[in-house]
């Protein structure tokens, strides 16, 4: 039984090596077939017409692994104003100084949030100058932000108080 199957497979495979014929029809269209037609000519296939793929791998180079940026822990400390500092300014001006350790990677920026609202946009300077802040209690936070928008580090929230003189206050008694 196996012998008959093997012989039949060999016969079928020999037929697959048939000659390829090429002819042009009356419209000028070129056709190829394994069956001979009128005005068809046999096409000889060269061995170099077969597709061959070879994969060349480059030689292994010495690879140095850089320190993963995600493993670096940045520390942001608000150096001034101090915690629960009282600032007296009628214009609502405020200067926030920050210390960052270690140095931020290139392209990273610092942002300042006052009461959870982004007040000062991204900047490379560690000094923020604000104006027009209303009187009262405020919480400030500084974030280090990468180019893709990911927050690398945040400072601890700092509570401050801004006092402004009011025209509506009680009048002073004159002597």
Q: With 70 as the cut, is the pLDDT of residue 172 above it?
A: no
Q: With 90 as the cut, is the pLDDT of residue 160 above it?
A: yes
> Which pLDDT does position 65 carry in this prediction?
46
Does residue 144 contact residue 74 with C-beta atoms inside 8 Å? yes
* Averaged pLDDT of the chain: 81
Q: What is the largest CA-CA distance in the chain?
A: 132
CA 18 to each of CA 40, 44, 172: distance values in angstroms, whole numbers, following the listed order? 14, 11, 116
> Which pLDDT does position 135 carry in this prediction?
87
Q: With 80 as the cut, is the pLDDT of residue 11 above it?
A: no
pLDDT in tens, 75-133: 999 999 999 999 898 888 989 999 998 888 888 999 999 999 988 778 888 999 988 88
Structural domains in the chain, sorted by start: 2-43 (no CATH), 69-163 (2.60.40.10)
* pTM of the full structure: 0.54
CA 111 to each of CA 5, 57, 77, 116, 118: distance values in angstroms, whole numbers, following the listed order? 79, 46, 13, 11, 7
Q: How far apart are CA 81 and CA 97, in angstroms?
A: 7
Task: Name the pLDDT band for 73 (thresholds 50, 70, 90).
Answer: confident
> Which pLDDT does position 110 carry in this prediction?
92
Q: With 70 as the cut, is the pLDDT of residue 58 above it?
A: no
Task: Name the pLDDT band for 173 (thresholds 50, 70, 90).
Answer: low
């Amino acid at each position: 039984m196996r012998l008959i199957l093997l012989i039949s497979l060999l016969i079928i495979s020999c037929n697959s090596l048939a000659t390829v014929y090429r002819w042009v029809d009356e419209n000028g269209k070129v056709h190829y077939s394994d069956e001979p037609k009128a005005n068809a000519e046999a096409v000889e296939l060269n061995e170099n017409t077969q597709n061959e793929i070879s994969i060349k791998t480059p030689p292994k180079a010495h690879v140095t692994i850089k320190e993963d940026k995600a493993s670096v822990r940045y520390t942001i400390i608000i150096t001034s104003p101090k915690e629960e500092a009282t600032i007296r300014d009628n214009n609502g001006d405020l200067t926030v100084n920050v210390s960052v350790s270690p140095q931020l990677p290139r392209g990273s920026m610092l942002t300042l949030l006052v009461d959870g609202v982004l007040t000062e946009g991204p900047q490379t300077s560690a000094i923020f100058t604000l104006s027009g802040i209303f009187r009262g209690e405020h919480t400030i936070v500084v974030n280090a932000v990468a180019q893709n928008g990911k927050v690398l580090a945040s400072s601890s929230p700092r509570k401050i108080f801004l006092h402004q003189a009011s025209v509506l206050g009680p009048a002073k008694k004159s002597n």
